[in-house]
Chain A
Amino acid sequence: MNIVVCVKQVPDTATERKLRSDDKTLDRDAADGVVNELDEYAVEEALRLKEAHGGEVTVLTMGPGRATETIRKALAMGADKAVHLSDDALHGSDALATSYAMAQTLKKIGFDLVILGSESTDARTGVLAAMLAERLGTPQLTLANKVDVDGTAIAIQRVTDYGFDKVEATLPAVVSVVEKINDPRYPSFKGIMAAKKKKVETLGIADAEIAAELVGLAGAWSEVAEFAAAPPRAAGTIVKDEGDGGTKTADFLASKKFI
């Protein structure tokens, strides 16, 4: 089975994240880059599927040059090789443009199964899996906390507010995973050393037949009009229980239309 895992380098959530004042995109120099946490679950799931069914795991990332750090981590965990889509023309791509660029690349490199984390910790749109599936013309199986593959049949448990749905499809397909699905392994030193020798293919937009006018800031369908720092959290309301704490709490929740 040819599995492609899409990973994204994001600013470390433990540090202060900023947008650039000039073009209102992420300031990548302001924070350390790390692997999007949810993508580590995607890598782990891909490795488990490979261990169970055989095949090959390819890491695909779109991002600037320094995103190679993220690729190395996924390779150290055990992925076989990587494709790095990197081109100045991609800077500022929104979710729709990104899905186009990624889909073009996926068509070029081929796949039986594409696995992604359910969202990134920076933009948090959570739409890429659905957009990719649409562009690739494959089934989408999103928010999986369990994935089973049997031949060309794939079944997942899709997490919902009330429990889970069982979703079945036929490969090729696109799957997004949630953090409950597994415990990602830590790379071993042997894995880290081996990662240095694994193949990383760098593609520009021409290599992946991506039309420049459909990507980047100019090709984006959405625009960041303005941004501001999140306001400091207001002090909470303390309900003092004088025998009527239950009523007061219920009244408060009702006033906020929670109940």
Chain B
Amino acid sequence: MKLTDEYEALRKTVQGFARDVVAPVIGDYYEREEFPYEIVRQMGAMGLFGLPIPEEYGGMGGDYFALCLVLEELARVDSSVSITVEAAVSLGAMPIYRFGTAEQRATWLPRLTSGEMLGAFGLTEPGGGTDVPGGMRTTATLDGGEWVINGTKAFITNSGTDITGVVGVAAITGTTAAGKPEISTILVPSGTPGFTVSKKYSKVGWSASDTRELSFADCRVPAANLLGERGRGYAQFLQTLDEGRIAIAALAVGLAQGCVDESLRYVRERRAFGHPIGHYQAIQFKIADMEVRTHTARLAYHHAAERMLSGLPFKKEAAIAKLVAGDAAMDNARAATQIFGGYGFMNEFPVGRFYRDAKILEIGEGTSEVQRLLIARELGLADL
């Protein structure tokens, strides 16, 4: 698997940035649960927030695979920074680029792609994530040329930073001809009256990223803020989530690789019973297993991305990539903290952070169980 020269140059550039700019300071942000605005500003200057978006909207004219490579390299050092880019691009900017009107694109994309402004997407609610529309309670009704939104959204990344500008909100906007709830996405600018952003959650991991609960109480926005077509909300976020799974898989591979990197360094330095601990087979086998998981998960996400960019169906491959990469991250984080012993339990060591950051990768963007459900469905087992 050899990357083309330009992908490799991008990977190396971001690798250097993560090592020189992110790594020295991110532990402190994490400890303080503080959003790293300065790092975000620099990532914006590098164009990371516009990678897969055409240049006419201020993007870099790259593709989704370029984004995935960047997410992997960032997550090798820190997942909070990586998820901030992932959510901003994949959930914030991409739906507007994909489904937005010319005016919506022109209004939001230049600021989103430059990183000057962050976007977010509100799908999950306190009572339901994947179970759409069954678990969805948020509604939007047209009244006098305006959408009136009521409801609550949970666990929304990038939704409450000082530079958050717009949130796409999935809401029930009526009933279809078949009698099912009609779902649409509505763009709600930050600061709209009736739109309240809660304080940050206290999280197990991803502590330097911004995650909040959003509530809407008779929040009114112009009818023109409908993203794309009315009633297309479900189809829109299914596509968004399929792509997003590949991006989260890339992030998880980065974390798994970070565990390998840190462990390889540590087992050469740390000595026990007369040798560096890497001398012992118990450690060697642990690291070999970590490498195997990382490598196979990377192949899985590269394959899914390749199918997606070739225009082939990729739903199953994306689910497989997300599943194996999430497992690889979690297993590697457990192995790496074990190798580090007592130091692995200390927050000041990267592997301690990796351990806390890994668990969400079995949950976010569809749980591991949902991935299995999708894979089984793609194998034709849903109709038995």
Contact = CB atoms under 8 A, between A and B. Distances in A.
A72 interface: yes
Given A186-B13, A186-B16, A186-B17, A192 B6 contact: yes
Contacts of B60: 188-190, 193
A195 B9 CA distance: 11
A190 B61 contact: yes
Contact of A188 (B5, B16, B47): B47
A31 to B, nearest CB: 15
A141 interface: no
A85 interface: no
Interface residues of A, number: 13
Given A186-B13, A186-B16, A187-B13, A193 B45 contact: no
A196 B10 CA distance: 13
B226 to A, nearest CB: 32
B13 A190 contact: no
A128 interface: no
Interface in B19-51: 42, 45-47, 51
Contacts of A190: 47, 55, 60-61
Given A76-B9, A196-B6, A189 B51 contact: yes
A189 B62 contact: yes
Instruction: Give chain A's interface secondary structure class.
Output: helix
Interface string A186-212: 111110110110000000000000000
A185 interface: yes
Instruction: Give chain B's interface secondary structure class.
Output: helix
A73 B60 CA distance: 17
Contacts of A73: 9
Contacts of A187: 9, 13, 46
A185 B61 CA distance: 19
A193 B55 CA distance: 12
B66 interface: yes
Q: Which of B9, B14, B17, B66 has the most CB of A within 10 A?
A: B9
Given A76-B9, A196-B6, A189 B17 contact: no
A185 B42 CA distance: 9
A187 B46 CA distance: 6
Interface residues of B, number: 18
Contact of A192 (B9, B42, B55): B9
Contacts of B16: 186
Contacts of B42: 186
Contacts of B6: 189, 192-193, 196
A189 B45 contact: no
Q: Which of A73, A186, A187, A193 has the most CB of B within 10 A?
A: A186
A189 B13 CA distance: 9
Contacts of A195: 9
Contacts of B46: 185-188
A143 to B, nearest CB: 23
Nearest to A190: B60
Contacts of B61: 189-190, 193
B101 to A, nearest CB: 25
B9 A72 contact: yes
Interface in A23-68: none
Nearest to B14: A186
B45 A192 contact: no
Contacts of A192: 6, 9-10, 13
Contacts of B45: 185-186, 188
A73 B5 CA distance: 11
Interface string A147-188: 000000000000000000000000000000000000001111
Nearest to A76: B9
B297 to A, nearest CB: 24
Contacts of A76: 9, 13
A193 B14 CA distance: 15
Contacts of B47: 188-190
A76 B60 CA distance: 13
Q: Which of A186, A187, A189, A190 has the most CB of B within 10 A?
A: A189
A167 to B, nearest CB: 31
Interface string A216-251: 000000000000000000000000000000000000
B313 to A, nearest CB: 27
Contacts of B62: 189, 193
A188 B48 CA distance: 8
B6 to A, nearest CB: 5
Contacts of A196: 5-6
The 7 closest A-B pairs by CB, nearest first: A188-B47, A189-B60, A192-B9, A190-B60, A189-B62, A186-B46, A192-B6
9 contacts: A72-B9, A76-B9, A185-B45, A186-B45, A187-B13, A188-B60, A189-B10, A190-B47, A195-B9
Given A186-B16, A190-B61, A193-B62, 9 more contacts: A76-B13, A186-B14, A186-B17, A187-B13, A189-B47, A189-B60, A189-B62, A190-B47, A192-B10
